[in-house]
């Protein structure tokens, strides 16, 4: 499934919008027209997987995908909706906008938005960057810019793998784009998002145990290695081109 088909299947658009000093997809967590009535009571909804639960096997098993999407991600959505209940000004915003502007969120809700909103935003992006037809290497501008920033695609893989292995406990490893157009490998704890630091996530690697423990147990490096076989570089490369163009604009 290519980038545009994946976005279409989720009822999403591919444009980038400013969110404070950060940029977001508009939006990988928006609702479809069929969800409009339900959204009045629950403004944030769980996006469907753009592939079958077993599509990523043998790299990620169907049981893990089912629990990760239907239980863990769904829980973030439910708790985010509970957090914004009674706050129509927050409920009317996209989750990426909320996460990108945490200082604008009332202090008593900030932790919930950071954790639950971050979990929703991060996972909505995560499903799109995986594909049964993944692997290979990034395309177009992204491939060229990764070579320029890290020396080669192989060196980039090595650095991202080391970053993922360095996360203590739960968190993410990211390839991000700064406002100045610089690519960077970074990590975040728990469900923190680069959006909160005015950086655009280009690629994310979920290293929470619920993402891999049923299959890989404590063998996180093996899971990280498997991840590179299922990266949807077509989507990621297209997303990067959009983000880079928005920065230039």
Residue 40 lies in a domain: no
The pLDDT value recorded for residue 246 is: 85
The torsion angles phi and psi of 210, rounded to 5 degrees, stand at: -65, -15
| Domain of residue 225, CATH code | 3.55.40.20
Residue 38 lies in a domain: no
CA distances in angstroms from 1 to 8, 22, 57, 201, 202, listed in the order given = 10, 28, 16, 21, 18
Residue 54 lies in a domain: no
Residue 20 lies in a domain: yes
CA distance 88 to 138: 40
The pLDDT value recorded for residue 248 is: 72
Alpha helices in 67-106 (DSSP H): 74-84, 88-91, 95-100
Residue 51 lies in a domain: no
Angle value at C-alpha 45, between 43 and 49, nearest 5 degrees: 160
Inter-residue contact 175 to 185 (CB < 8 Å): yes
Query: What predicted TM-score, i.e. pTM, was given to this entire model?
Result: 0.85
Which pair of tokens denotes residue 125? Answer: 């992006």
Residue 46 lies in a domain: no
Residue 41 lies in a domain: no
CA distance 69 to 62: 11
The pLDDT value recorded for residue 103 is: 95
Residues 6-43 as b/e (b if ≥16 CB within 10 A, e otherwise) read bbeebebebebeebeebbbbbbbbbbeeebeeeeeebb
Count of CB atoms situated within 10 Å of the CB of 114 = 19
Residue 104 lies in a domain: yes
Kindly give the parts of the chain with pLDDT less than 70: 1-41, 249
The whole domain housing 201 covers 1-32+64-249
pLDDT digits 0-9 by tens, 130-167: 999 999 999 899 999 999 999 999 999 999 999 999 99
Total number of domains in the chain:
1
Show the beta-strand stretches assigned E in the chain: 16-19, 22-25, 171-177, 183-189, 200-206
């Amino acid at each position: 499934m290519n980038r545009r088909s994946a976005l279409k299947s989720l009822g999403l658009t591919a444009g980038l919008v400013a969110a404070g000093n950060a940029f977001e997809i508009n939006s990988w967590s928006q609702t479809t027209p069929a969800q409009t009535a339900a959204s009045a009571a629950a403004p944030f909804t769980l996006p469907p997987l753009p592939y079958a639960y077993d599509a990523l096997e043998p790299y990620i098993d169907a049981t893990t995908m089912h629990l990760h999407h239907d239980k863990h991600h769904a829980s973030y959505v439910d708790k985010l909706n509970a957090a914004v209940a009674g706050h129509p000004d927050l409920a009317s915003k996209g989750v990426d906008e909320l996460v990108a502007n945490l200082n604008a969120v009332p202090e008593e809700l900030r932790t919930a938005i950071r954790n639950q909103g971050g979990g929703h935003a991060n996972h909505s992006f995560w499903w799109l960057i995986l594909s049964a037809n993944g692997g290979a290497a990034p395309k177009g501008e992204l491939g060229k810019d990764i070579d320029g920033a890290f020396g080669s695609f192989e060196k980039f893989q090595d650095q991202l793998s080391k970053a993922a292995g360095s996360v203590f406990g739960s968190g993410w490893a990211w390839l991000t784009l700064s406002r100045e157009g610089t690519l960077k490998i970074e990590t975040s704890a728990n469900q923190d998002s680069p959006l909160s630091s005015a950086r655009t996530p280009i690629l994310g690697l979920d290293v929470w145990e619920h993402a891999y423990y049923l299959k890989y147990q404590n063998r996180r490096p093996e899971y990280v290695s498997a991840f590179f076989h299922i990266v949807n570089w077509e989507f990621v490369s297209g997303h990067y081109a959009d983000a880079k163009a928005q920065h230039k604009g």
